Amino acid sequence: MRPARQTLRRPDEFIAAGLIPRERRGEIEAVAARYALALTADVAELIDPADPRDPIARQFVPAAAELDARPEEMADPIGDGTHSPVEGIVHRYPDRVLLKPVHVCAAYCRFCFRRDVVGRARALSRTQLDAAMAYIRTHREIWEVILTGGDPLVLSPRRLGQIVEMLAAVGHVKVVRVHTRVPVVAPARVTAALVRALRAPGKATYVVLHANHARELTSAARAACARLVDAGIPMLSQTVLLRGVNDEAAVLGELMRALVECRIKPYYLHHGDLAPGTAHWRTDIEDGQALMRALHGRFSGLCQPTYVLDIPGGHGKSPIGPSYLACVRGANGTACYEVTDFNGRRHAYPPAPREGSL
């Protein structure tokens, strides 16, 4: 059954669209009581209900496993609250802050690390937004502001433009970065008016697209991204490594190539965060490192994201990709390097001569 051209928000709507069997209604109602549901028609039309392994359904269709929280999981897995000096601001790194004006998304990823907040918390009031902007203005070390949430591109062009204009007025802020799923899940929202609203006079604006599978980059999604790039807004991507979605080298490589074809530079490959009820999506770090090894040398350097882990507790991201370099001892006892190529072969490389031995 083909879904109607509307966003699905209630278990009955998922059932009517043929995405959930009627006998699972009770368990999905339990999920909906705990976490927000929303699936746009653009995404619903990509799903094959007859395929139990469909990678799009796995990301967006609710499942009872979401209620199976593990002891190591936490409501705030990356420690946003630890670094939130005022409502709507997260200041984890010295030169940049997150600004979260809204906690709503066009569609809700079932593995979201902010799943306890998105779709539940209210948007910033005008008073709260003014306080957040005052914080940015008084902290001159802030060079970059990252608009996130929620998804900032669900805001109207007028509202988004007001926020961007406020940031443009702050002299020490040089970069405005926007994290979004909208070009994929609701591409029609990327209108000429919205693109204009993103352009901050005198600042560099970047848009970072969240995409996890090549099938998400439909012709409509590609056109939405082209509207941004053609307007002079560079695009990067972030991808979450998800079991059953993109944890095979060929699948991940296809996504990275598709992004580069759209003029989007792969930026981050995130290891899954310890959000409640998300264990069935998480892979082992060793699996992620093996995937990065498989991409290395076999896909263009443009297709190589940085594999990162957001350390629980608010300690920030760290690269956790494989290492290709080792320090070894030669036959005469001197230290040298050993470098592994993309075929797995090892090669000696000499250290630099010490000062005085030249």
Q: 73: number of CA atoms within 13 Å, CB side?
A: 23
Query: Is 181 among the residues known to form the active site?
Result: no
Query: Is 42 among the residues known to form the active site?
Result: no
Say which of 58, 92, 177, 265 is annotated catalytic.
92
Query: Is 109 among the residues known to form the active site?
Result: yes
Say which of 58, 100, 110, 114 is annotated catalytic.
114
Query: Is 115 among the residues known to form the active site?
Result: no
Q: What residues have CB less than 8 Å from 175, skipping those under 6 apart?
A: 96, 143, 144, 145, 203, 204, 205, 206
Could you tell me the two tokens for 286? 């060793």
Say which of 96, 137, 203, 227 is annotated catalytic.
96
Say which of 35, 42, 112, 115 is annotated catalytic.
112
Say which of 24, 159, 174, 317 is annotated catalytic.
317
Query: Is 53 among the residues known to form the active site?
Result: no
Query: Is 349 among the residues known to form the active site?
Result: no
Query: Is 317 among the residues known to form the active site?
Result: yes
Give start and end residues of each alpha helix (H) in the chain. 11-16, 25-34, 41-44, 55-60, 126-138, 157-168, 182-185, 192-198, 219-230, 249-261, 285-295
CA proximity to 223, closest of 197, 246, 195, 204: 195
Say which of 35, 109, 225, 247 is annotated catalytic.
109
CA–CA distances in Å: residue 94 to residues 7, 206, 306: 39, 19, 21
Query: Is 96 among the residues known to form the active site?
Result: yes
Say which of 12, 93, 257, 336 is annotated catalytic.
93
Query: Is 112 among the residues known to form the active site?
Result: yes
- Distance, in Å, from the CA atom of 244 to the CA atom of 190, rounded to the nearest integer, reads 29
Amino acid at 120: R
DSSP states along 294-322: HHBTTB-GGG-PEEEEE-TTT--EEE-PP
Say which of 54, 151, 247, 310 is annotated catalytic.
310
Say which of 273, 282, 303, 307 is annotated catalytic.
273
Amino acid at 21: P
Say which of 42, 80, 100, 105 is annotated catalytic.
105
* Contact present, 208 and 239 (Cβ < 8 Å): no
Catalytic positions, written as ranges: 92-93, 96, 105, 109, 112, 114, 273, 310, 317
